[in-house]
Amino acid sequence: MIRIIDIDKPEEWDELVRQLPNHDVYYLSGYVKAFACHGDGHPILLWWECDDVKGACVLMIRDIADDPRFATMEKGKIFDAVTPYGYGGFIFNANPGAHRLNLLRKELLEALSDKKVISVFFRFHPVLENAPLSRELCDVIDLGKTISLDLSDDETIWANLTSKNRNMIRKAEKSGVEIFHDNGFQLLLKFKEIYDETMRNDNADEYYFFGGDFYKSLSEDLKDNYEIFYAALDGEIISIAIFLFDNDQLHYHLSGSLKNYRNLAPSNLLLYKVALWGRGKGYKSLHLGGGVGSGADSLYKFKAAFNRNSTNQFSIGKLIVDQTAYNELVEIRKLSEDFNINSTFFPLYRS
């Protein structure tokens, strides 16, 4: 049976999530509250129980009428959903087996239909490897690889670095770069300043500029699950990043750096020091993520230099709940000159 827990019940939400031995920070109420502030939708937790098997999935519910391309539609009538920024999808306390997964799919479709949700886009968790089980629930597509570091011990962390990366780390240290960390709100504001400058230099999409409410929510609702690390040279912050953590997992979340100092490799040293810090705190892995759009680009290659021996599979999922309503929205989009019927974007009507 599926229960839906709303974000206005954060204590109940987190209590349920923490019943799952493999839960992660992306499933906590405090994490999704920040992205609700960013306009990503209304967060809900799908909680499922069948016999002794339990499962959870977080979704952001989006009113389709909020999309300017469907502004003439009445609000509150039709919705779609997406897993929160980062990673998600169903996680379980045990393998449900094919029979229970078929039951879950039926209950999932009914629950979503009752909420007037016509489609769902999933981003599965590369470290938790929950995509294979979800093939019984939706269409799963394997995309690129992501990188994670084994934090078993200091020797393993160093051994997995490429030789070039080791040299870059040494270069940063010899140049006088130092690494510090804190989680205070003033440092979050400094992070925003450097991060926004980095996004402007990279010509990033408007979505990647997070407002003050986002950072305020992060500092209040997720205060026990993040740490800010920064690289400084002669007292000036030249590279900075937010790391998330929960239940043995450490994640490289958002980062920024000053363009004029990148030749000193401050981010290389920063990530290495974070890995050592995580090992000291007892975390089992540090997940760096992948490249832009899951590609093997320069960002991916930078991350891959931290673990030459391991990659994780990143997969997405597509689920159409109401094919008729889905097709009607596609027909509306066909009236626009900028619409590409051959786009692989999902849902197609939002392309």
Task: State pLDDT tens for residues 322-349.
Answer: 999 999 999 999 999 999 999 999 999 9
Q: pLDDT of 134-185, one tens digit each?
A: 999 999 999 999 999 999 999 999 999 999 999 999 999 999 999 999 999 9
228-242 exposure pattern, b = at least 16 Cβ within 10 A, e = fewer: bbbbbbeeebbbbbb
Residue 297's pLDDT band, with cuts at 50, 70 and 90, is confident
Residue 295's pLDDT band, with cuts at 50, 70 and 90, is low
Tokens encoding 160: 């997995």
Residue 296's pLDDT band, with cuts at 50, 70 and 90, is confident
Q: pLDDT of 80-103, one tens digit each?
A: 999 999 999 999 999 999 999 999
What whole-number distance in Å separates Cα of residue 151 and Cα of residue 158? 10
Is the Cβ–Cβ distance between 25 and 31 less than 8 Å?
yes
pLDDT at 294: 58
What whole-number distance in Å separates Cα of residue 217 and Cα of residue 46? 22
∠ CA 264-267-271 to the nearest 5 degrees? 135
Q: In this prediction, what percent of the chain has a pLDDT beyond 70?
A: 99
Superfamily of domain 146-313: Gcn5-related N-acetyltransferase (GNAT) (3.40.630.30)
HSE-up (13 A, CA, CB side) for residue 201 = 12
Q: pLDDT of 197-214, one tens digit each?
A: 999 999 999 999 999 999
Q: pLDDT of 1-56, one tens digit each?
A: 999 999 999 999 999 999 999 999 999 999 999 999 999 999 999 999 999 999 99
Residue with tokens 């229970």: 100
Domain range annotation of the chain: 2-137+321-350, 146-313
* pLDDT for residue 126 is more than 80: yes
If we measure between CA atoms, which residue out of 283, 347, 287, 279 comes closest to residue 318?
347
Over residues 302-307, the mean pLDDT reads 96
* pLDDT for residue 309 is more than 90: no
CATH code for the part of the protein at 2-137+321-350: 3.40.630
Greatest Cα-to-Cα distance within the chain, rounded to the nearest angstrom: 63
Residue 211 CA, chain-centre distance (Å), reads 18
Q: What is the CB neighbour count within 10 angstroms for residue 112?
A: 24
